[in-house]
Chains A and B, each alone.
Chain A
Amino acid sequence: MSDLRELYQEVILDHNRSPRNFGPLEGADLRADGHNPLCGDRLSVALKVEDGLVTDVRFEGSGCAISKASASLMTERIKGQTIDETRVLFDRFHRLVTDQAAPTDDAALGKLAVFAGVRAYPARVKCAVLAWHTLRAAVDDNHKLVSTE
């Protein structure tokens, strides 16, 4: 049970219940759809970008608590960042949830550090990274459907 509380931290449960930046984004500049065929999770990420800066970002879709909270917290974190900064965050987040040796208190990740518990659940890594892969697809290759498979 203690382990489970590491995974399902209060912040994650809260963002699952009331996801932030959830819904369509009118006049988006970039968007992509993501799909995790293993569990049927689907989400799309849409961004507004001005001078290389993310001015607004929203997501839509359905998924488990981990994928929904991850998307919600991601949108909060990247708003106001440059596109290049989102790429750096992608790498740090990826390390956080996959690398047993990665620090669990990476200050650059801020609240996203609550996902450190995912590394103990390899079957759930794909849920945690779906939003991030979708973001990267939107940024690198607008309008692409990505899959975690």
Chain B
Amino acid sequence: MTSVAHTDSVHSAHVLDEARIRDLFPILAATVGGKPLVYLDNAATTQKPQPVLDALSLYYAAQNANIHRGVYQLSQDATQAYEDARAKVATFLHAADPAEIIFTRNATEGINLVAQTFGRSTVGEGDEVVISTMEHHSNIVPWQLLCKEKGARLRVVPITDAGELMLDEYESLLGPRTKLVSIVHMSNSLGTVNPVQRVVELAHGHNIPVLIDGSQAAYHMAVDVQAIGCDFYVVTGHKLYGPTGIGALYGRRHLLDAMPPYQGGGDMISSVTFERTTYNVVPHKFEAGTPHIAGAIGLGAAVDFISGVGFGAIAAHERRLLDHATAALSAVPGLRLIGTARQKASILSFVLDGVHAHDIGTIVDTEGVAIRTGHHCTQPVMERFGVPATARASLAMYNTTEEIDHLVAALTKVREIFG
């Protein structure tokens, strides 16, 4: 299987060749109870293309060695492959320097790393951390823990009925006590794409650093951390068509240099005696122990794959899908979309009159349609909209309008049963 990264055969500038893209994802040929799989739970995790699978198996079959510690060729090669992957992620996020990319297990670990290092050394009693109503639990709980430990306060930016950040309220929350802002780039339960550049600008007006949670945004749109201007940005590999267990944290070099280490162990030191340890330079200071080498290499292959297809083509295709899905779902009697922001992407959360989301999920599953039902790790969002749960269809580059029609047809089954 050849990688699509550097070929023009799979795509032209803005048109995505649906059939050829789908062919690169082996799982899309699967059936569920005899029906073709219609995978619409991409916000939970995306499927993996052949180039990523190949990179993983090539690493284990031909390159496996521990990194940063062997003088022999194989270890040198593995180290090179791992560091190449870091450079690829840096390029993908438009970071100025690969050293600003720290490999983590996932987005959750990236946020916890910042909370436990930057947060613990910066936030004190009476200080404040600002998040929003639409955060994933992984961008709430680490700050709650930090605030509890430090006697600090968590402030929450409200959202509108459409699911948009209330920027005026946000601005009024910023002040001398604010030590950090941490906001999601794209909401996983509403699809809202936040004006992150503006969010950063307003915070920087008060010299407040900003973390952006890019877990959802990074596979739908080109991310340029320097243009956004943020101080930290987190992504998670398994939503980038890459492996599970690998993610990345971008941090501005001068902040990373000043931050205390996260975990202690091998690789993060430059010298150790029982009296004293000096820490390694960034990014290694934050990567204690043997990392997920294969995962990092797989993530490198994944971002190459995405860049090969191109965000121009991806965004245009997904826009067409979103418009089609919005129209088709809105036409279903008794269906209400939750999350109608003007700027949104690829996510459709909905409720159906008289039917709980969980029942919808079970029924459409018997038609081979995989959607997520529940609170999507955003309980405050559910509370904000007064619903216990929603059903959520989330789209990726390989989805088709036929698949959306399939979901809509499956929803008629729900009505047949529930009346």
Contact = CB atoms under 8 A, between A and B. Distances in A.
Interface of A: 1, 3-5, 7-8, 13, 38-42, 62-66, 68, 121, 123-124, 127
Interface in B356-413: 356-359, 362-363, 366, 373-375, 379, 382, 388-389, 413
Contact of A63 (B366, B373, B388, B413): B388
Contacts of B379: 40
What 5 A-B pairs have minimum CB-CB distances, sorted nearest first? A64-B356, A64-B358, A40-B388, A40-B389, A39-B358
Contacts of A3: 366
A41 B417 contact: no
Nearest to B379: A40
Given A1-B366, A64-B358, A39 B389 contact: yes
Residue from the set A1, A5, A64, A66 with the largest chain B CB neighbour count within 10 Å:
A64
Given A13-B418, A63-B356, A40 B366 contact: no
Nearest to A8: B417
Nearest to B388: A40
Looking at B358, B366, B388, B389, the one whose CB has the most chain A CB atoms below 10 A away is: B358
B413 to A, nearest CB: 7
Contact of A127 (B358, B366, B375, B419): B358
Contacts of A124: 358, 362
26 contacts: A1-B366, A4-B366, A4-B413, A4-B417, A8-B418, A13-B417, A39-B357, A39-B389, A41-B358, A62-B356, A62-B388, A63-B356, A63-B358, A64-B356, A64-B357, A64-B358, A64-B359, A65-B355, A65-B356, A65-B359, A66-B358, A66-B359, A68-B356, A121-B362, A124-B358, A127-B358
Contacts of A68: 356
Contacts of A41: 358, 388
Contacts of B419: 13
A7 B388 contact: no
Nearest to B383: A40
Contacts of A38: 374
Nearest to A61: B388
Interface in B337-368: 355-359, 362-363, 366
Given A1-B413, A4-B363, A123-B362, A65 B418 contact: yes
Given A3-B366, A4-B417, A40 B382 contact: yes
Contacts of B418: 8, 13, 65
A127 B357 CA distance: 12
A66 B382 CA distance: 21
B413 A40 contact: no
B375 A40 contact: yes
Residue from A40, A124, A127 with most neighbouring chain B CB atoms (10 Å): A40
Contacts of B356: 39, 62-65, 68
Contacts of B373: 39
Contacts of B382: 40
Contacts of A4: 362-363, 366, 413, 417
Contact of B388 (A5, A8, A42): A42
Contacts of A40: 374-375, 379, 382, 388-389
Nearest to B373: A39
Contacts of A66: 358-359
Nearest to B363: A4
B417 to A, nearest CB: 5
A39 to B, nearest CB: 5
A106 to B, nearest CB: 24
Given A13-B419, A39-B389, A66-B359, 14 more contacts: A5-B417, A8-B418, A38-B374, A39-B356, A39-B374, A39-B375, A62-B356, A62-B388, A65-B356, A65-B359, A65-B418, A121-B362, A123-B362, A124-B358
